[in-house]
Amino acid sequence: MTTTLKPIAMPTAGSPAGLLEAGTDFLSLRTLSRDGLRDLVELSLLAKAEPSRFSKALSGTSVALLFEKASLRTRAAFEVGINRLGGHSVYFDHNAGRLGERESVSDYAKNLERWFGLIVARTYRHATIEKLADASSVPVINALSDASHPCQALADTLTLVEHLGGFDALRGQKVAFVGDGNNVCVSFARAMALCGCETVVIAPEGYGIEDDIQAEIRAAANANGGVFESGADVSLVSGARAVYTDVWVSMGHEESVATRTRAFEPYRVDSSLMSHAADDALFLHCLPAKRGLEVTDEVIDAPGSVVFDQAENRMHTQNAVLLRQLGKA
């Protein structure tokens, strides 16, 4: 069985230098260069350290939150973060009715742009977010789609920067993703490629990142002094400074629980697997975690686990994106 993740069309947002500029969309890390990623990380660190500096940055600005999928971290981080920046958010629950069912995505976007300064969308299909961005005159943020989870990858990068000694210190560090080559995996690998890491994705046959997307990530890694490889052998985790995993069954794949559980059983991140990583290896997970499946309690609750740092950093990195898109920093 192969993953349903497909290549996405190259977005037009972002500047030629790969920076996130005012008025542009944030749909994927493919719009960013190494300098663009560094810029957002550095702004995140500043906003985290000196929140009062930006406490009125979004004053008078309203942000629409369109969510087709259940959420804890994404919703809380955006709502609290927007509030701390002095803005206002309105949550639209689309769990029962997907975007485009009641009225076209284009019409929806053209209504929202009259009241909101920015649209955040968490959807099943990446194409839905692309339609919103194409139709809307205000910036759009991808808060998760089947193809990409750029906000999570920003938080992952900030967390590693904080724990491994800075942005430039990530170059050459080995990081491993163990599990499904899903949207989280793809976005994390893209971020690590921009950082110049030695990145390895370890997945069962048929569940890895699509070959053409791997080629893009490998090219980005090579351009930034890094390396990207993939394989099915869990021994590839050897020496990794960070080990990342995610659930084996993402939202939308519930019908394949039994099949996926059998395929991923050897890829559980437990103390035995972690013993092959570096002695001081960090453990990452985007959450929610299915404890006892993709990760054991002894790993996720260990001192080297930074999963709740990642969760907190969702707010700080998303705030950085908001500030750049709205031209407030």
Catalytic residue (choose from 75, 149, 268, 324): 149
Give the Cα separation of 104 and 124 in Å (integer): 16
Residue 237, both tokens = 């985790």
Catalytic residue (choose from 195, 197, 246, 253): 246
In sequence order, what are the residues at sequence separation of 6 or more whose Cβ sits closer than 8 angstroms to the Cβ of residue 242?
160, 164, 173, 175, 176, 281, 282, 283, 284
Instruction: Report the C-alpha dihedral over residues 81, 76, 317, 49, rounded to 10 degrees.
Output: 50
Q: Among this protein's residues, is 149 annotated catalytic? A: yes
Residue pair 234/169 in contact (Cβ under 8 Å)? The answer is no
Give the Cα separation of 181 and 177 in Å (integer): 9
Distance of CA 27 to the CA centre of its chain: 10
Q: Among this protein's residues, is 314 annotated catalytic? A: yes
Q: Among this protein's residues, is 286 annotated catalytic? A: yes
Could you please report the per-residue DSSP string of 10-44? Answer: PP--S-TTS---TT--B--GGG--HHHHHHHHHHH
Give the Cα separation of 227 and 231 in Å (integer): 14
Q: Among this protein's residues, is 246 annotated catalytic? A: yes
Q: Among this protein's residues, is 73 annotated catalytic? A: no
Is the sign of the CA dihedral 169, 173, 178, 180 positive or negative? positive
Give the Cα separation of 249 and 25 in Å (integer): 29
Q: Among this protein's residues, is 152 annotated catalytic? A: yes
Residue 72, both tokens = 């804890």
Catalytic residue (choose from 30, 152, 260, 316): 152
Catalytic residue (choose from 94, 122, 126, 190): 122
Structure-token match 């961005």, residue found: 133
Residue pair 200/230 in contact (Cβ under 8 Å)? The answer is yes
Catalytic residue (choose from 151, 195, 197, 286): 286
Instruction: Report the C-alpha dihedral over residues 285, 315, 312, 275, rounded to 10 degrees.
Output: 30
Q: Which residues are catalytic?
A: 122, 149, 152, 246, 286, 314
